[in-house]
């Protein structure tokens, strides 16, 4: 028979196996279960909302036969849902949505290893979906961390429509400076290369990195590691409207995705994967869409009921935070730099937050790094839940017995003018992140998050690299406090939060005795200030400016600006015993008068 076939003509080889695969992805949802954004007349936000996301996911499950749904991390922290329930609602909803895998983000550790363990034991692994991180290391001598070793996987191999799909997770090295029991391996490149090779060795047709590293690191890895087909990214809240293509030295193409934050968008990547007789499968893009999630999408009733189930408990603990009007915003107040004023490095929200801090205790100045401020305040009605989303980060470092606070407390710091100048220079170097200008920085420290936001204070800096570390970016002649030139020997009172005080003491800029941790939370301070103003209309003003006016020669002592973060880690166990004092919020304005 074979002879007959040979005589009749050549044997036609079988067609390579081709499979369509749909990949849905989100990231950095930060507990935003209910809608955000400008409100409808009924008071509901017009943007986001996990019940709207659920409707989209359900629709695509019905229309796309082979579907994979991934989350690139930072499920925790951002709203009253997390403040009240520490992550349980967020994981419950994702379990209901049929999530295939989640990468651990840095904020998943905001309740420590014990808090994460409690959530994962009830909602992940055998009880839910896989949680991935190949570079987080758990201390076996810490009971909670040791339990997490069994709940967090470095990688996994799953089958979908006959395809062998390899998944592995990576967590930002920024994590977690304040979390005992965990660390992050430094060899990011080696781990990614090793995980990719291992999954290929196990027969993966497609390798996907679910990354909470940020798009810059994602791009660098894609250009060095061959074998990754797709990086589903997160961490820096970027919206990539189309996949970014990066190529390894051997020509291997990797697609990089990221879908913003707060359930504002759902990314949908349609692939055609062709398995070949030899060599890796061929992966081609059939389509890519970024779907805005807004009021045009109806809510999934089941998920809406799940979210609503948690609201009474929140209101019992915190009051009518979703409905009680606190103020009206004339327009959106954002935490981004104004593109029409490129020299300004203050933001509308940065100005409002630091004004609130300074006014509450009658300080000379207020300050906070930009990265400790989160979401915008949208135009229109502003309720308490909107204000918490501005300052949601952190944990109460000094809790009162039985009191569950909201992030960090307000702090009052007394600092000489010379040390205040050094603080401005330290913040500027962190923001500019020029190699060599600060030493011993952990990987991931530096960049936009460190841009200082200020009140009662103004200054300019030159962004060009320093020719000598004793020179300064900050231009001394431009530094003013309350409209007056900075005086080296004068003592100034600064309003900030309790986390920033750890940095100040680690840098040796202020002693512990110069710090009072006050008995009020930064969220409460901003909430009361917004109510006092009534109408919110902040814009960028140029409180911090970028000028190429000439770098400043000086005799700056660089010793205090080096090794700041190693000293910071040593300082963390110290509990400040500040005097609990904060102006009453029960007066008409809720503000302090100047002494």
- Tens of pLDDT, residues 226-242: 999 999 999 999 999 99
Please tell me which residue, 113 or 560, carries the higher pLDDT value: 113
The mean pLDDT of the chain is 88
Q: Residue 278 — very low, low, confident or very high, per pLDDT cuts 50/70/90?
A: confident
**pLDDT for 571 beyond 80:** no
pLDDT at 580: 39
Task: Judge contact between 323 and 383, C-beta under 8 A.
Answer: yes
Q: Looking at the domain assignment, is residue 580 inside a domain?
A: no
**pLDDT for 308 beyond 50:** yes
Q: Residues 288, 332: one domain?
A: no
Q: Residues 202, 332: one domain?
A: no
pLDDT at 210: 98
Task: Judge contact between 290 and 262, C-beta under 8 A.
Answer: no
Task: Show the tokens assigned to 399.
Answer: 């809790």
**pLDDT for 101 beyond 70:** yes
Q: Looking at the domain assignment, is residue 518 inside a domain?
A: yes
Q: Cα-flanking dihedrals φ and ψ of residue 377, to 5°?
A: -100, 120
What CA–CA distance (Å, rounded) separates 227 from 423?
A: 45
Q: Which residues pair with 480 in a beta bridge?
A: 458, 485
Q: Residues 116, 62: one domain?
A: yes
Percent of residues, the chain, with pLDDT higher than 90: 72
What CA–CA distance (Å, rounded) separates 478 from 458?
A: 7
Q: What is the average per-residue pLDDT within 99-114?
A: 93
What CA–CA distance (Å, rounded) separates 479 from 458?
A: 6
**pLDDT for 125 beyond 90:** no
Q: Looking at the domain assignment, is residue 485 inside a domain?
A: yes
- Residue whose token pair is 């403040």: 83
Q: Residues 329, 236: one domain?
A: no
3-state SS assignment for residue 233: strand
Q: Residues 269, 122: one domain?
A: yes
Please tell me which residue, 359 or 593, carries the higher pLDDT value: 359
Q: What is the average per-residue pLDDT within 152-175?
A: 92
Angle at 176 between CA 175 and CA 181, to 5 degrees: 125
> Starting at the edge strand that comes first in sequence, how are the strands of the sheet with 152-153 ordered?
152-153, 131-132, 101-103, 67-71, 17-26, 265-275, 282-292
Sign of the dihedral defined by the CA atoms of residues 516, 521, 523, 529, in that order: negative
pLDDT at 17: 77
Question: Whole domain around residue 520: which residue ranges?
Answer: 324-571
Q: Residues 510, 553: one domain?
A: yes
266: nearest Cα among 292, 303, 239, 243: 292
- Residue whose token pair is 């939060």: 497
Task: Show the tokens assigned to 115.
Answer: 């808090």
Q: Looking at the domain assignment, is residue 106 inside a domain?
A: yes
CATH number at residue 348: 3.90.780.10
Q: Residue 592 — very low, low, confident or very high, per pLDDT cuts 50/70/90?
A: very low
Q: What is the DSSP string of 265-333?
A: EEEEEEEEEEE-SSSSPEEEEEEEEEEE-BTTSPPPHHHHHHHHHHHHHHHHHH-STTT-EEEEESS-B
pLDDT at 276: 83
Q: Residues 341, 423: one domain?
A: yes
What CA–CA distance (Å, rounded) separates 159 from 2?
A: 36
What CA–CA distance (Å, rounded) separates 420 from 427?
A: 11
Q: Residues 257, 334: one domain?
A: no
What CA–CA distance (Å, rounded) separates 346 from 541?
A: 7
Q: Looking at the domain assignment, is residue 593 inside a domain?
A: no
**pLDDT for 577 beyond 80:** no
Cα dist. 571→231, 410, 507 in Å? 36, 19, 10
- Provide Rg for the chain, Cα atoms: 26
Single residue among 276, 305, 334 that ends a domain in this structure: 305
Q: What is the DSSP string of 83-152?
A: HHHTTHHHHHHHHHTT--EEEPPGGGGTTHHHHHHHHHHHHBGGGSB-EE-SSEEE-TTSHHHHHHHHHE
Say which DSSP state 397 is in.
S
pLDDT at 552: 74
3-state SS assignment for residue 521: strand
Q: What is the pLDDT of residues 25-80, one digit of tens each?
A: 999 999 999 999 999 998 999 999 999 999 999 999 999 989 999 999 999 999 99
Q: Residue 403 — very low, low, confident or very high, per pLDDT cuts 50/70/90?
A: low
Task: Judge contact between 98 and 67, C-beta under 8 A.
Answer: no
pLDDT at 277: 79
- Cα dihedral 513, 519, 522, 525, rounded to 10, equals -120
Phi-psi region of 16 (alpha: psi -120 to 50; beta: other; left: phi over 0): beta
Q: Residues 350, 231: one domain?
A: no
Q: Looking at the domain assignment, is residue 583 inside a domain?
A: no
Bridging pattern class, strands 67-71 and 544-546: unpaired
What CA–CA distance (Å, rounded) separates 466 from 432?
A: 11
Q: What is the average per-residue pLDDT within 484-497?
A: 96
Q: Residues 542, 480: one domain?
A: yes
Q: Residues 540, 412: one domain?
A: yes
Q: Looking at the domain assignment, is residue 90 inside a domain?
A: yes
**pLDDT for 559 beyond 60:** no
Task: Show the tokens assigned to 320.
Answer: 């009518």
CATH number at residue 243: 3.60.21.10
- Residue whose token pair is 């398995």: 275
What CA–CA distance (Å, rounded) separates 283 from 270?
A: 10
Number of domains in the chain: 2
Q: Looking at the domain assignment, is residue 590 inside a domain?
A: no
Q: What is the average per-residue pLDDT within 511-536?
A: 93
**pLDDT for 184 beyond 80:** yes
Q: Residues 88, 198: one domain?
A: yes
pLDDT at 565: 61
> Starting at the edge strand that comes first in sequence, how are the strands of the sheet with 244-247 ordered?
155-160, 163-171, 206-212, 230-233, 253-257, 244-247
């Amino acid at each position: 028979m074979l002879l007959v076939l040979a005589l009749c003509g050549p044997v036609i080889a079988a067609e390579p196996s081709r499979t369509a695969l749909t990949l849905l992805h989100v990231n950095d949802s930060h507990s935003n279960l209910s809608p955000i954004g400008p409100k409808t007349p009924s008071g509901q936000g017009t943007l986001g909302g996990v019940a709207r996301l659920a409707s989209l996911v359900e629709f695509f499950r019905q229309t796309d036969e082979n579907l994979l749904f991934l989350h690139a991390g930072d499920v925790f922290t951002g709203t009253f849902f997390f403040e009240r329930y520490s992550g349980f609602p967020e994981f419950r909803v994702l379990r209901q949505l049929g999530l295939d895998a989640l990468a651990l983000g840095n904020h998943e550790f905001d309740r420590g290893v014990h808090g994460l363990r409690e959530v994962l034991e009830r909602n992940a692994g055998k009880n839910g979906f896989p949680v991935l991180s190949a570079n987080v290391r758990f201390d076996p001598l810490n009971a909670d961390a040791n339990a997490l070793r069994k709940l967090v996987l470095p990688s996994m191999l799953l089958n979908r429509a006959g395809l062998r799909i390899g998944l592995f997770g990576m967590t930002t090295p920024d994590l977690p400076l304040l979390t005992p029991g965990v660390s992050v391996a430094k060899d990011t490149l080696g781990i990614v290369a090793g995980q990719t090779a291992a999954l290929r060795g196990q027969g993966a047709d497609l390798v996907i990195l679910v990354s909470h590293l940020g798009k810059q690191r994602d791009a660098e890895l894609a250009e060095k590691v061959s074998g990754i087909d797709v990086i589903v990214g997160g961490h820096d809240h970027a919206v990539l409207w189309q996949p970014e293509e990066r190529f390894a030295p051997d020509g291997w193409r990797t697609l990089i995705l990221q879908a913003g934050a707060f359930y504002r968008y759902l990314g949908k990547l349609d692939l055609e994967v062709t398995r070949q007789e030899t060599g890796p499968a061929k992966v081609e893009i059939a389509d890519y869409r970024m779907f805005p999630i807004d009021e045009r999408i109806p809510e999934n009733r089941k998920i809406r009921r799940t979210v609503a189930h948690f609201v009474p408990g929140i209101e019992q603990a915190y009051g009518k935070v979703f409905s009680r009007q606190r103020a009206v915003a004339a327009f959106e107040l954002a935490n981004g730099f104004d593109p029409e004023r490129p020299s300004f490095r203050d933001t509308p929200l940065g100005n409002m937050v630091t004004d609130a801090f300074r006014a509450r205790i009658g300080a000379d100045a207020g300050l906070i790094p930009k990265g400790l401020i989160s979401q915008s305040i949208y135009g229109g009605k502003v309720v308490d839940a909107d204000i918490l989303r501005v300052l949601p980060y952190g944990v109460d470092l000094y809790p009162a017995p039985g009191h569950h606070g909201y992030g960090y407390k307000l702090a009052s710091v007394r600092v000489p003018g010379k040390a205040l100048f050094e603080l401005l220079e330290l913040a500027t170097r962190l923001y500019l992140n020029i190699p060599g200008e600060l030493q011993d920085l952990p990987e991931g420290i530096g960049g936009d998050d460190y841009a200082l936001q200020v009140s009662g204070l103004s200054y300019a800096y030159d962004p060009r690299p320093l020719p000598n570390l004793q020179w300064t970016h900050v231009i001394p002649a431009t530094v003013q406090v309350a409209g007056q030139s900075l005086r080296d020997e004068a003592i100034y009172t600064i309003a900030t939060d309790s986390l920033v005080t750890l940095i100040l003491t680690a840098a040796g800029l202020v002693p512990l005795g110069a710090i009072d941790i006050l008995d009020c939370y930064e969220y409460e301070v901003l909430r009361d200030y917004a109510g006092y103003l009534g109408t919110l209309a902040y814009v960028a003003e140029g409180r911090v400016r970028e000028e190429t006016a000439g770098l400043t020669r000086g005799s700056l002592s660089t010793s205090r600006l080096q090794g700041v973060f190693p000293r910071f880690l040593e300082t963390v166990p110290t509990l400040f015993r500040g005097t609990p004092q904060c102006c009453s919020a029960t007066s008409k304005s809720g503000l302090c008068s100047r002494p």
